[in-house]
Structure 1
Amino acid sequence: MWIFIVTGVLMVFGYLILNRRQNHWTRKGVPQLKPTFIFGNFWPLIVRKLSSPELVQRMYNSGKDLRYFGIYQFLRPALMLRDPELIKQITVKDFEHFLDHVGFIDPEADPLFGKNLFALRGMQWREMRSTLSPSFTSNKMKYMFSLMSQNGEQFVNHFLQKNEDVIEVEMKDVTSRFANDVIASTVFGFECDSLKETHNEFYTLGKVATDFTNLRTVLVFMGNIVLPKLLKFFKVGFFPKKMTSFFERIIKENIESREKHGVKRSDMIELLLEARKNKHNDDDHGDLPDTGFATVEESEIGKNQKLRKCELTDEDITAQAFVFFFAGFETVSSLSCFIAYELAVNQEIQEKLRNEVDATNEKCSEQITYEALTTMKYMDMVVSETLRKWPNAIATDRICTKSYTIEPKTPDEKPVHLNKGDMVFIPVYGIQRDPQYYPEPERFDPERFSDENKKKIKPYTFFPFGSGPRNCIGSRFALMEVKLLFYNILSNFEIIATEKTQIPIRFSKKAINMASEKGFWLGLQRRVKTAVGLQCQGPRENSCLLSTNSLEHQMSKFWELEGMDNNVNFTTDDEACEISFVTTTKRDPDGRFLVALPVKTRPLDIGQSKRTAINQFKSLEATAVREYTGLFPNHRLLDQHVFRRLLHPAKEDGSFQPMRKAVLGLHGLYA
């Protein structure tokens, strides 16, 4: 009997205590969203009724016309900020009162994560930020550009080798492999080809580290919000021991090898080793263009040389390299997926970006440079609009490190006193989709970020890489990586929707980050850039190379002219066609494929043709030379290139389109 009474009293007492905690903001005179008992405002996320971005959007919209209001992460109160001026005040002007992020992982339980720049606090963070900052300047990005560029070429070459006109891919899978290889090369100092070696250990462990649908990851994440002291007591780390041991080993072996053999490489490990030896050069003097509008500006803390650590341990270097891997793997692959999706469903935008890619190719003779990439305005507009509509950081936070008061600005407000340890929550996703700041926020419109329009963007309503001194140090790196990827993709492919493409995107309710419910299935359709050889027999023999699309109209007209059909001998022997295709294909001195598409198998007897056909043939030759030399002034024309066989034309009706389609599908060799 007494047991039931005591139990009942304890339950009532416990309920009153917990209920009091969930009225924290009401007692302070701050409007708050009604919480669910124990679970706070995150109940829809727990029961998978809403995805993370949908929950943030709903909470943000619930506080309409308010500068701030209270929410609860389970039992923990947090103040959600809606007003851009207040966000600036807390993250920039009064940063000294909000120095840290919410504690996520105890350094003793997981040194690899607990000692990285994101997790560090106070003076430790100041010292590390100042130490690492010189490694992320524009000049240092150019330092790593060539390594990253090689990864971009490796990525597209993998798909160019496939004998398919349209290659259906799950973009999250392939772009995460690209991001993995870039990080392996530019951060850890070794080469990797994850598209070819699909189960390599580096990629496999990286995928586990960034799998936010994994039950263990979700439980540890939630546990650190609800019961952080309990997880600290049992020393529960965020990552499995096998993973941390792997990264510790490869960094240690890498450093030992470099120091033993005097190896120098243009990568992040080299820059961190320079920082350890205090040999950093502050060489960013504004002489190089930045990597984009979304690039964050380093604060005075990052530039303060007096704060720099004199000694970085191997553990420090490993922790920074790992978080760079952890953040870069997910951030770049996720951003790339949303860019690819938007280009696939907005073909006019893709065409405009593709034209800029082609124009850039011509200017730099198809050898992209850091300067050329960073001056691609429309590319930056597309990337910026993607970051607005689909920010990787759905929300960010700050912890009050010194007592602080938010003064009232409206008649309904009262002074809000925040104590040390109180949390503020910044709903990035909600703000960047607020029609007050971005009309028709669901519409993908890169013109928002044109030179004229980006000046109109209200400050502190666009911060995909965070705000203030604790912004993302790797924004330049991420932007350069993504732009290089799409420069390479669009140089060779068109991105199209397929039957498996989910339109519109629906968010996964299983993930704690922003992910598509059914993945990102899209098609890579080869661009018809194959060089076409035209053998011109008659008063003047000549041949040249040009884009197939440039002369498709003239070519079709040529075939249709009366009197020409009898002078063209088609072959339907597939084996002979394949042999001929291989033997008439080679590379020019610049490494471009010269794919010969023969016009006929025997000399054309012009005397048997009508005068209109002869004139059209001559006009075609002249147009070919003029257009090719105009497009590629640095390329030489190949004279007297004799073709022996016409490749399988699909049907003998003289039309150009079926012939082109059949020939291009034979071996997938493209310029």
Structure 2
Amino acid sequence: MFSFSDFLIHLPLLIFVWLPILIYCSSLYINSYWKRKNITFIPAKPIVGNLLECLLFRKSVAELFSNMYNDPRSMRKSFVGFQIFYKPTLLIRDPELIKRILVKDFPSFSNRHAASDMHSDLLGGSNLFLLPNPAWKILRARLTPFFTSGKMKQMFHLMKKIGNELNDTMISRKIDDKAKTISVEIKDILAEFATDVIASCAFGIEANSLKNPNSDFRKAGKKIFEFKWSRAIEFFSIFFLPEIVPFFKFKVFSKDSGKFLRDSINHIIGEREKSKAVRNDLIDTLINLKNEDKFKQLSASDLVFQGDAIVAQAAVFFTAGYETSSNAMSFGLYELAFKPEMQKRLREEIKETLRESKGEITFENVHGMVYLNMIVQEMLRMYPPLPFLDRKCTENKGYSLQPFGDFVVPYGMPVMIPVFAIQRDPKYWPNPGKFDPERFSAENKDKIVPYAYLPLGAGPHNCIGERFGILQSKIGLINFFKNHSVRPSEKTPRVLKFEPKALVIQFQGSFHLDVIRDPINFN
């Protein structure tokens, strides 16, 4: 008879020999899912699926999805299968199918696959980006009034003020009198500008990052997007393996960043409530939501705007707003540094526009700068802030992909839309690796294939702060170029490498540009 003592004797054999064999064999069976379904797939590794290169930080997520998108097996397919660890996942390639998932049949894919744990991480899990339906829909409707065109006009003068400070900061930099140049780590100064804009427009405070690069808000922003190994593992888990997030208590914001954001935002809200001042900014919006929900009871399908649930909305707006805009502007300056003719044309447009308005930047003339708009759109095509969009099937009965293929997406299956890869597909973008704003000219913009351009998402789940981010970027570029131009320096990389530990599109390391003092004469 097999006794308990016999079991203990054989336990090491079970743990170290048979258990790994069982896990390995199970993984092989899971990895055969797409073959059994007769769906074209990208072969996966046991246990880790198709993520090995990312898990070892050899490739960025943008590169990983691009490789699968451009795999010979994927060509001419509307979708292909791959594995995220043990989970069969779909990579969507066809713009028409993307339209169905993001817009037409949005209710069948209304949640992101990424998630944080609402119990251990209310600050990270209850923000608009990660919150699941139906609470997301309610929150989106309640926050939308803050992002209207009318609100942008109200905030414009605040952005303009920070834009002037960017111009003043650049002018105050010591230059080489002979060459009239300064070497600038370009991402830093643009991140300082974006931090000050967010702090002013959203929170009603002066962060003064341009004047003091070591300001508390700037340091907090740096920490949030400083992808060290431990933080990279947390973010990868939240986006690709959210099931383990509650177990390990992973958080969207690190302990230090979370404390800073919580303390700062609660202090700002408290001071605003005491003074009863009205600035029509995000803090006013959040205070109104807080007052409306003061006596509301928590339910499973809703979100009560008290405590961290309030702070979460301001925190995600701060982090997303400054990182996406500063990255986009940095990539734009990098590309323009190698293209003096484009830079000259942009500066001529700025000159003519400001000459007509006697040097005054207005809401109307910013939107009237056609070439500037083309530049920004091309920046976002080549360098979308997030290289992919994630959704999961929320249709209980599954979702048929007919006529694109004979497959029913089961409830809960993740689907990934490789934005970076689609926006660099020569099928939709001739010579896609070339920075070419003419793609977005009046003559050419009608040639753009719908849903092959998704830098800020599409459909009900698109970026709620799209207007804000684009306006902020335009004001930054105007104020940078009205007194300066850029060119590559000896330290400027000729080929950009993306940071493999970052989920967002972020260049690896730092890069400098030579900034030339070259004031535009508006007279």
1:103 offset after TM fit, Å? 3.4
CA contact (8 A) 1:257 1:263 kept: no
1:216 offset after TM fit, Å? 1.8
Among 157, 164, 167, the alignment partner of 2:182 is 167
Question: Per-residue displacement from partner, 1:186-242 (whole Å, max 9, x unpaired)?
Answer: 11211022132222222111210122x212211212334676444313433232333
Q: What does residue 257 of structure 1 align with?
A: 271
1:15 offset after TM fit, Å? 1.6
Q: Distance in 2 between matches of 1:119 and 1:82?
A: 24
- 1:231-380 matched pairs, under 5 angstroms: 231-276=245-290, 312-380=305-373
1:46 offset after TM fit, Å? 2.4
1:256 offset after TM fit, Å? 2.2
Does residue 469 (structure 1) correspond to residue 469 (structure 2)? The answer is no
Of stretches 199-208 and 81-90 in structure 1, the one that deviates more from structure 2 is 199-208
Does residue 11 (structure 1) correspond to residue 5 (structure 2)? The answer is no
Question: Which residue identity does 2:390 align to in structure 1?
Answer: D
* Cα 1:509/1:16, change in 2 over 3 Å: same
Question: Which residue identity does 1:254 align to in structure 2?
Answer: I
User: What SS does the corresponding residue of 2:514 show, helix, strand or coil?
Assistant: strand
* Cα 1:520/1:5, change in 2 over 3 Å: closer
Q: Distance in 1 between matches of 2:369 and 2:79?
A: 38
* Cα 1:170/1:110, change in 2 over 3 Å: same
User: What SS does the corresponding residue of 1:501 show, helix, strand or coil?
Assistant: coil
Does residue 31 (structure 1) correspond to residue 40 (structure 2)? The answer is yes
Question: Per-residue displacement from partner, 1:600-620 (whole Å, max 9, x unpaired)?
Answer: xxxxxxxxxxxxxxxxxxxxx
CA contact (8 A) 1:72 1:78 kept: yes
TM-score normalised by the chain length of structure 1: 0.71
Q: Distance in 1 between matches of 2:355 and 2:290?
A: 42
Question: Per-residue displacement from partner, 1:613-642 (whole Å, max 9, x unpaired)?
Answer: xxxxxxxxxxxxxxxxxx63xxxxxxxxxx
Task: Say which one has the larger Rg.
Answer: 1
Of stretches 494-503 and 236-245 in structure 1, the one that deviates more from structure 2 is 236-245
Q: Distance in 1 between matches of 2:276 and 2:98?
A: 47
Q: Distance in 2 between matches of 1:224 and 1:262?
A: 38
Among 223, 230, 240, the alignment partner of 2:237 is 223
Q: What does residue 125 of structure 2 align with?
A: 114
Question: Per-residue displacement from partner, 1:70-129 (whole Å, max 9, x unpaired)?
Answer: 111222221000000000011111111101001321122211111100111111001000
Question: Per-residue displacement from partner, 1:266-285 (whole Å, max 9, x unpaired)?
Answer: 4221233345567xxxxxxx
* Cα 1:225/1:383, change in 2 over 3 Å: closer
1:158 offset after TM fit, Å? 1.1
Q: Distance in 1 between matches of 2:143 and 2:77?
A: 38
Q: Distance in 2 between matches of 1:246 and 1:336?
A: 26
Question: Per-residue displacement from partner, 1:155-206 (whole Å, max 9, x unpaired)?
Answer: 1201212231212111111111111111111112110221322222221112
CA contact (8 A) 2:125 2:131 kept: yes
Q: Distance in 2 between matches of 1:329 and 1:528?
A: 27
User: What SS does the corresponding residue of 2:138 show, helix, strand or coil?
Assistant: helix
Q: Distance in 1 between matches of 2:459 and 2:239?
A: 24
1:516 offset after TM fit, Å? 2.1
Q: What does residue 108 of structure 2 align with?
A: 97
Q: What does residue 406 of structure 1 align with?
A: 400
Q: Distance in 1 between matches of 2:156 and 2:489?
A: 33
Q: Distance in 1 between matches of 2:140 and 2:36?
A: 38
Q: Distance in 2 between matches of 1:325 and 1:6?
A: 50
Q: What does residue 82 of structure 2 align with?
A: 71
How many residue pairs align between the two structures? 500
User: What SS does the corresponding residue of 1:496 show, helix, strand or coil?
Assistant: strand
Unaligned runs of 5+ in 2: 1-8, 293-300
Question: Which residue identity does 2:181 align to in structure 1?
Answer: V
CA contact (8 A) 1:73 1:225 kept: no
User: What SS does the corresponding residue of 2:482 show, helix, strand or coil?
Assistant: helix
Does residue 190 (structure 1) correspond to residue 205 (structure 2)? The answer is yes
Of stretches 42-51 and 391-400 in structure 1, the one that deviates more from structure 2 is 42-51
- 1:355-504 matched pairs, under 5 angstroms: 355-402=348-395, 403-409=397-403, 413-414=405-406, 416-504=407-495
1:513 offset after TM fit, Å? 2.9
Question: Per-residue displacement from partner, 1:527-579 (whole Å, max 9, x unpaired)?
Answer: 144xxxxxxxxxxxxxxxxx5xxxxxxxxxxxxxxxxxxxxxxxxxxxxxxxx
User: What SS does the corresponding residue of 1:122 show, helix, strand or coil?
Assistant: coil
Q: Distance in 2 between matches of 1:240 and 1:390?
A: 26
CA contact (8 A) 2:401 2:409 kept: no
Question: Which protein, 1 or 2, shows the higher relative CO under an 8 Å CA cutoff with sep ≥ 6?
Answer: 2
1:328 offset after TM fit, Å? 1.1
Of stretches 73-82 and 457-466 in structure 1, the one that deviates more from structure 2 is 73-82
Q: Distance in 1 between matches of 2:420 and 2:53?
A: 17
Does residue 140 (structure 1) correspond to residue 147 (structure 2)? The answer is no
Question: Per-residue displacement from partner, 1:326-355 (whole Å, max 9, x unpaired)?
Answer: 111210111011110111111111111111
Superposed CA RMSD: 2.2
Q: What does residue 151 of structure 1 align with?
A: 162
Q: Distance in 1 between matches of 2:249 and 2:311?
A: 20
* Cα 1:116/1:326, change in 2 over 3 Å: same
* Cα 1:225/1:343, change in 2 over 3 Å: closer
Q: Distance in 2 between matches of 1:262 and 1:347?
A: 50
Unaligned runs of 5+ in 1: 279-307, 530-546, 548-630, 633-671
1:252 offset after TM fit, Å? 2.1
